[in-house]
């Protein structure tokens, strides 16, 4: 499982004021609960022009980019990373860690993401756009 710990993203908004994900699909590859923690490995695809929508996580995510280039932004609207094939990303937990991932390229972004979440927590929690001039 440690080898799978690599890149992270989020998905599927729920709140009415949230910014919805577009062009995103995911498949669960592995799931296990140990104590009060869920360990879930997902393959996430973001199509060209797609976005995760603004969100945060109740646990830490570790991911790796398998294909494409992921553009990642924090709640200050600043880029906090551009991640290419083979690069790792970590998304820390908490409502103060609102972020968005986008595919600004011309081919799908494919990520492998390990979610380390409190048992039963959602993959992500939707958040409104923090005031950025992009979604």
Please report which helix (H) or strand (E) contains residue 79, including its range. strand 79-84
What's the number of CA atoms in the CB half-sphere (13 Å) around residue 24? 21
The superfamily CATH assigns to domain 2-126 is: Jelly Rolls (2.60.120.10)
What's the number of CA atoms in the CB half-sphere (13 Å) around residue 10? 34
Nearest 5°: phi and psi at 62?
Answer: -125, 130
Confidence of residue 67 (pLDDT cuts 50, 70, 90): very high
Considering only CA atoms, which of 134, 20, 128, 17 is closest in space to residue 78?
134
pTM: 0.86
Q: What percent of the chain has pLDDT over 70?
A: 87
Q: Return the domain boundaries, the chain.
A: 2-126
123-132 pLDDT tens trace = 999 999 999 9
12-61 pLDDT tens trace = 333 336 788 999 999 999 999 999 999 999 999 999 999 999 999 999 99
């Amino acid at each position: 499982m440690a080898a799978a710990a690599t890149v992270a993203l989020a998905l599927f908004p729920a709140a009415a004021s949230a910014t919805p994900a577009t062009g995103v699909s995911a498949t669960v590859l592995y799931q296990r609960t140990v104590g009060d923690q869920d360990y879930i490995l997902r393959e996430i695809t973001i199509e060209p022009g797609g976005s995760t929508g603004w969100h945060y996580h109740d646990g830490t995510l570790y991911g790796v980019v398998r294909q494409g280039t992921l553009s990642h932004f924090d709640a200050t609207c600043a880029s906090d990373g551009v991640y290419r094939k083979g690069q790792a990303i970590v998304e820390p937990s908490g409502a103060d860690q609102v972020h968005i991932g986008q595919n600004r390229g011309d081919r799908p972004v494919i990520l492998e993401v390990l979610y380390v979440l409190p048992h039963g927590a959602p993959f992500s929690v939707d958040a409104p756009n923090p005031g950025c001039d992009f979604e």
